[in-house]
Structure 1
Amino acid sequence: MTIRLLLADDQALVRGALSALLGLEPDLEVVAEAGSGADVVTAVLDHRPDVALLDVEMPGLDGIEATAEVRRTAPQTRVLIVTTFGRPGYLRRALQAGASGFVVKDTPAAQLADAVRRVHQGLRVVDPQLAADSLVAGESPLSQRETEVLRAARDGSPVSAIAARLFLSEGTVRNHLSAAIGKTGAANRTEAVLTADNFGWL
């Protein structure tokens, strides 16, 4: 039986390489590709793949948000996250969104093909080092609002701009930033963004 695949990555070169590698396997067939998270659900509904391989960082919807949408609209399609960014927070959030597996892009081709088969069988596949790191890192200490404020602060926007974007008062934004700095053990908001980003909490 052939396992039908969808590949989603915003880099065409990466999609092409994955397609070529997986296409060498006699039981795997790439039936669709997507270059953004927003295109994933449409492609899944149009092509009905058995397994969708999604990157995390894509324009529009990220891979984790796209995973939740795929599981909601096409529950017969299983999701395997294949990403450069092996961050503990990403793993936790991806599994919570309904992903069946999470591997990094430098996984050898034979192991990736095996991961696809196992996910298709209904098994869970997680990079073992990442699983261990996730247990050590624990869940994000940030509240939903603190996470939103830190995300908005990523580009270095002033407090006034963040407040306007999130429809909050400047004082509230400062309070959330201060709390996030304390919870991440950072010295300032730039460091807090960096720490949260590295753990995959944003």
Structure 2
Amino acid sequence: MIKLLIADDQALVRGALSALLGLEPDIDVVAEVGRGDEVVDAALRTSPDVALLDIEMPGLDGIAAAAQLRERVPGCRALIVTTFGRPGYLTRAMRAGASGFVVKDTPAAQLADAVRRVAQGLRVVDPALAAESLAQGESPLTERETDVLEAARGGGSIADIARILHLSEGTVRNHLSSAIGKTGGRNRADAARIAEDSGWL
């Protein structure tokens, strides 16, 4: 039997995934959690073979949860299942140690097959998303530009961002200017939106 942990902040989605996958004769759903920061504790308690992780969850996102699982529960493989099929998310998830990445509208039989393949140590990636990710390439943003855009999403002033990131206001302006240029945004809010839609934030 493949022991499966499901993490999704939407109770209805979590329940549906559990019910559908629980019907499979070789899959046993051993834990369900609604927050990303509950994933590792649940995995330590139940020793799942595979963790099905949503990306956008409170406490910790699914990509960060996958990285924690790799470090603290190396026997559990992460399979990201998300509504948000953004190429940048795929790249970040693979870097975090996820074994698979599929979108939520994947048919139930294919999702069950993805769980089996990940449990066997194989990689599973949504083909359309893989092609889009290759076409788009890596994020053009540096780590610091990403930090500054992330902080700018809250709508604070240059001084607020500088204080949050412990940078000078001039440095923040330089990073924002560079990020706006690289994303093709009209302003910092537009640059942050473009970066988020691409999965770079």
2-structure distance, mates of 1:180, 1:163: 16
Counterpart residue number, 1:193: 192
SS in 2 for 1:117: helix
Give, in angstroms, the shift of residue 155 of structure 1: 2.1
Rounded Cα–Cα distance in structure 2 between residues aligned with 1:152 and 1:84: 24
Aligned to 2:5: 6
What does residue 52 of structure 1 align with?
A: 51
Task: Name the Cα RMSD after superposition.
Answer: 0.8
| Cα distance in 2 for residues equivalent to 1:169 and 1:58 | 32
SS in 2 for 1:4: strand
Structure 1 unaligned spans of 5+: none
Q: 1:74: which partner in 2?
A: 73
Q: Does 1:64 align with 2:63?
A: yes
Report the Cα offset of residue 156 of structure 1.
1.4
Q: Does 1:29 align with 2:28?
A: yes
Q: Residue 131 of structure 2 aligns with which residue?
A: 132
Equivalent-residue separation in structure 2 for 1:126 and 1:14 (angstroms): 21
Is 1:123 the equivalent of 2:118? Answer: no
Query: 2:174: which partner in 1?
Result: 175
Q: How big is the shift at 1:142?
A: 0.5
In 2, Cα distance between equivalents of 1:13 and 1:147:
33
SS of residue in 2 equivalent to 1:194: helix
Residue 91 (structure 2) aligns with: 92
Q: Which structure 1 residue ranges, 4+ long, deviate > 3 Å from structure 2?
A: none
Per-residue deviation, 1:166: 1.2
Q: State the 1:35 CA deviation.
A: 1.2
1:11-35 per-position Cα deviation (integer Å, ceiling 9, x unaligned): 1111111101111111111100111
Deviation at 1:183, TM superposition (A): 0.8
- The superposition leaves residues 44-91 of structure 1 with CA deviations (integer Å, 9 ceiling, x where unpaired) of 111110000001111122111110110111111011000000000000
Give the AA of the match of 1:36. Answer: R
1:15 aligned partner, one-letter code: R
The TM-score, its normalising length taken from structure 1, stands at 0.97
Partner letter of residue 132 of structure 2? Answer: D
Cα deviation per residue 1:135-179 (whole Å; 9 max; x = unaligned)?
A: 011000101111011111112122111111111111111111101
- 1:19 matched to which residue of 2? 18
Tell me the equivalent position of 2:154.
155
Q: Which runs of 5+ in 2 are unaligned?
A: none
Name the amino acid aligned to 2:156: S
Tell me the distance in 1 between the aligned counterparts of 2:45 and 2:114.
Answer: 24
Q: Secondary structure at the match of 2:122?
A: coil
SS in 2 for 1:123: coil
